[in-house]
Amino acid sequence: MKSLVNPLQVSRFLRVYDDAAAQKGIKLSIGFDFNEYVSITRVLPTKKPTYPNFRPDRSPIKSGEGYWMVGVDKDNQIALVQAARLYDLSHSNFAEHLESLKAFYADPAVHGHPQDRCTCAAPTAKKITGKVAYHGDFWLRSDFRRQGIPTIMAAILRGASFAMWSPDFVCGLAERWLLEKGVLAQYGHAHYEHGGSILHLVEEKIIDHDLLVWLTGEELRSLVADHDSSKSALVERL
């Protein structure tokens, strides 16, 4: 049996990164209504359309099984967004979830296109099972880039997901250029593999070839539990 989540540890962990965001001029907030989230992301001029797995019209998220984060600047303008949801893969695995298109649509036969396809060749994806926290839809406004903010964004999501779900895995799909440009390291992903998702969603006009990135539940727990003042000082210098 898993040990209980220590709320004080989580609150201290989140406080460090929330303060770090504030020092960068960003005020963070978390929401749970994905209709509201889509209305926010739809009007961001440089952001790609939100994927169907975070859109209630294609993949409704039950209460308590998803949340999103928005950061605003001093003028209350959107500076960053990201989202997370929980997949119950106790009788499946992440590779199967992707290839069946259930990762993207509540009912692929109803919401998808007959020619939609997804292939997952990353070996570890078949081992990602149980309670799986999926993080995605990352967007950061251009004037806030190259300031270490991806580290803050990823940490907040990990802390919140740990507090809410204590998942068996945290995973996501990352564009390959993030690895090539060194941005993937800023998100603090412990592991990655090529071939995470070769995806074509016809009506969504999505064609991707992404990496699989993940942390185990124990790695996530250690990340939060081992966070100390020396790391806090490092974050403050981001």
* 178: CATH: 3.40.630.30
How confident is the prediction for the chain on average, in pLDDT? 91
* 147: its two tokens: 């300031």
Task: Report yes or no on 178 lying in a domain.
Answer: yes
Cα distances (Å, whole numbers) of residue 186 to 40, 147, 172, 230: 25, 10, 15, 18
Query: With 60 as the cut, is the pLDDT of residue 228 above it?
Result: no
Predicted confidence at residue 231, as pLDDT, reads 53
Task: Report yes or no on 143 lying in a domain.
Answer: yes
For 89-145, write each residue's pLDDT tens digit.
Answer: 999 999 999 999 999 999 999 999 999 999 999 999 999 999 999 999 999 999 998
- Reported as a pLDDT band with limits 50, 70 and 90, residue 41 is very high
Task: Report yes or no on 57 lying in a domain.
Answer: yes
Contact by Cβ (8 Å): 163, 17: no
Task: Report yes or no on 159 lying in a domain.
Answer: yes
Query: Cβ contacts of residue 39 below 8 Å, gap of 6+?
Result: none
Q: Where is 98: in which H helix or E strand?
A: helix 94-99
Task: Report yes or no on 2 lying in a domain.
Answer: no
Count of structural domains, the chain: 1
**Percentages helix, strand, coil for the chain, rounded to the nearest 5?**
35, 30, 35
Contact by Cβ (8 Å): 225, 9: yes
Task: Report yes or no on 1 lying in a domain.
Answer: no
Task: Report yes or no on 190 lying in a domain.
Answer: yes
Instruction: Provide the domain limits for residue 190.
Output: 7-236
Predicted confidence at residue 68, as pLDDT, reads 98
Q: Where is 177: in which H helix or E strand?
A: helix 176-180
Q: Lowest-confidence range among 59-68, 140-149, 183-192?
A: 183-192
